[in-house]
Amino acid sequence: MCRRQKRTYRFQSLKESENATWGVPQVAFFYVFSSRRRHTIWAYLWDLVDDGLEETVEFCKGEMGLDAISVATAYHTFQQLRPGRPGAKLLTAGEAAVYFRPQPELYVDTCIRPHVAPLVGEGNPMGELANICQKNDLGLISWTVCLHNSYLAGKYPDCAQQTAYGDSLGWVLCPGVDDVRAYIIALCRDLAENYGVERLELEMCNFGGYGHAHHHVKDGVDLGGVGRYLFGLSFSAGCMDKARGWGIDAEGLRNWVREQLDPVFSSGEPLTGEIEEVVAGNAELAAFQEMREELVTSLIGEIKGATGVEVSFLLMGDRWGARIRPERMAGEADLVELLAYSRDPEAIAERVKGVLKDIDDPEQLVLGLQAYYPCANSADDLRANVECGLELGVRQFSYYNYGIAPKPCLEWIGNCIKNSKIK
């Protein structure tokens, strides 16, 4: 592990910086909290590059009527079906990567270095996009996948989550490790200081669990809900150190987890009961759970404090597996985002109401909608979903996804924006 030094952060416009030496176009802006946008779309940089940056921005702003575009700046592995592209329809990225040119000096406090995607090449299309968005008055949001990163978890195994048995969960970095926290903060600073983003949209900025992996998972044992929860707990060196600081018997807890799981592995019979009951019945585990929730919540606050831009948090996962509590996220982030991919407005309404029980203010919620089959079979379907959110007080919507949706579905979004009124 690297020994990190505390830093004093200074926020500046890109015009003030000396970044021209490493190839970032100089976008002139100053850090202010932008007015909250109403309609945005998730997009991949590679799709924007293929369609032409200028042309795409003009289309999003002029024809679709979007207020901002949310671009994947750090992303996990993927295989994407691209219906709107001539010729080959599949695009595969076998390594998690960043899709901008990092500023190396920002990463001196961590042993982790960002892995740059081949798309960036010798240029910096993200920097070009930032300039074009500014010229066309289209907001730019950084859609940043933080800890879901099989490349970095494999390259820096001490920074990955560790099971009670010492296994590396090789698809996810551990937020209990100081180098990981320093890396994510540096990554977010890089994007905020050098690319004029109005918002950092944080995906997977939390713990992960067992089962979601880079590789095909092969198992012949049903762990059950409780077993999967226990096996997904991270006992990395960072988490162990922090647990001791909380007064938790970290070694004793790790041994206890093994004692619960050993019979499952030997017999194949899953653990029974409810996670909440198991946590409540073990004081050390309850404290460990609380500590891990605090690690996630405080990381959001540290990112916001270090960057000076608006921060939103994607609600993906639950309290037990991901250590996400919406009410805590709402206390640290400016916005929380709910993915409500359904064709049924009533189902969407139930999900929105469920989140609003925790965050109170519907204007703090961004509603994510899927703008294509089977969640929307027409422009009317999509508009009904938006109006469902409007009736519940939601004022911000994001649509998935520019390069995945067939072209007619992008027209539905434009139709929806023009014909759905904020009441």
Task: Report pTM.
Answer: 0.90
* Longest alpha-carbon distance in the chain: 64
Say which DSSP state 251 is in. H
Q: Does residue 24 register a pLDDT over 50?
A: no
**For 303-330, what is the mean pLDDT?**
84
CA angle 201, 132, 202 (to 5 degrees): 5
| Tokens linked to 23 | 């190839």
- Tally of helices (H runs) and strands (E runs) in the chain: 15, 13
Query: pLDDT tens for residues 321-367?
Result: 655 778 888 889 999 999 999 999 999 999 999 999 999 899 999 99
Nearest to 205 by CA among 74, 397, 358, 28: 74
Query: pLDDT tens for residues 153-176?
Result: 999 999 999 999 999 998 999 999
**For 383-402, what is the mean pLDDT?**
95
Backbone φ, ψ for residue 365 (5° rounding): -105, 135
Nearest to 62 by CA among 125, 4, 136, 155: 136
- For the chain, domains (ranges, CATH) are 35-218+293-339 (3.20.20.80)
Q: Does residue 34 register a pLDDT over 80?
A: no
Q: Does residue 43 register a pLDDT over 70?
A: yes
Q: What is the rounded CA–CA span in Å between residue 240 and residue 248?
A: 9
Do 362 and 5 contact (CB within 8 A), yes or no? no
